[in-house]
Amino acid sequence: MDGAHLEFIKLAIAYTLLGAFIFTVAVTCLSLIGIVRFADTKQQKRLFTALIVQLVVVGVGFFTQLLTFDPKDAASAALQTAQRESGRVYIQVAGERSREIGDQVRDVASKIGFVTPGIETVSAASVPENNEIRYFFPEQAANAKRLAKSLSNQKVGNFDLKYLPGFQGRAPNDVLEVWLAKLKKVGLGEPCKAMKDCLSLSCYPGPGDSGNFCNESRTNCAFPRARGFMYRTVKEYEGKDYQCYRPSTGKARWKIVY
């Protein structure tokens, strides 16, 4: 029996006995002051007997250290057991933009029981065209699929599974590798975070709370699924009219036209 299961058994026994002990003490005390009355006086004697038995069991339990437990130890033991069964995940990325996604991968993998030692930055030439989870032994397939499913469910991205048996002599049998594809530059009207994300090298705010979008460098305001627009242009977005304008400071943006 592993440490996690033993800690949970101790926890269950201790809380069960504690609940029974509190109930017995409460009823016994209430019967002594007459709030609880028994139709048969033998019932009160049985209750006293049960209380004595519980005191003996608790005393023996603590004396033999069977009931000494710490809830934190139980949780820690369970986590360590899950991590031993799941193994380790190493994450390879190319560039800072991919590192943001690598942090998300690491967070998801940790939450489902994997040990995640860190994120390694590799050359752009070495990363695959698509995101991959690489495993090296047949018995790792289930864990690789579980990780891929969790990453997809958490909207981190889709990951291809790649079995590489040729590395069995060099790779441990508890290691998975996550390789993130190099993020491609996006086109006009597509969401972006920075200028370098766009093929046009121009990333500006869209209307309302829509976020930033790539636009042609010769235009002033970005717009979803559009090349961009010049100052004073009015466009409708989600039932409201917006005008492209130049603020006193900062980037060109849209404002609501009333």
Per residue, the 3-state secondary structure of the chain, as one string, reads CCHHHHHHHHHHHHHHHHHHHHHHHHHHHHHHCCCCCCCCHHHHHHHHHHHHHHHHHHHHHHHCCCCCCCHHHHHHHHHHHHHHHHCEEEEEECCHHHHHHHHHHHHHHHHCCCECCCEEECCHHHCCCCCEEEECCHHHHHHHHHHHHHHHHCCCCCCEEEECHHHCCCCCCCEEEEECCCCCCECCCCECCCHHHECCCCEEECCCCCCEEECCCCCCECCCCCCCECCCCEEEECCEEEEEECCCCCCCEEEECC
What would the pLDDT profile of 200-255 be if each residue is shown by its tens digit?
999 999 999 999 999 999 999 999 999 999 999 999 999 999 999 999 988 899 99
The pTM of the full predicted model, rounded to 2 decimals, is 0.52
Q: Please report the pLDDT score of residue 82 as a whole number.
A: 46
How far is Cα 40 from Cα 37, in angstroms, rounded to an integer?
9
What would the pLDDT profile of 83-121 be if each residue is shown by its tens digit?
455 799 999 998 777 888 999 999 999 999 999 998 999
What would the pLDDT profile of 60-80 be if each residue is shown by its tens digit?
655 555 445 455 554 454 445
Domains delineated in the chain: 3-75 (no CATH), 87-179 (3.30.70.2390), 195-256 (no CATH)
Report helix angle 41-63 to 3-32, nearest 10. Answer: 150
What would the pLDDT profile of 143-197 be if each residue is shown by its tens digit?
999 999 999 999 888 999 999 998 887 888 899 999 999 888 899 999 998 898 8
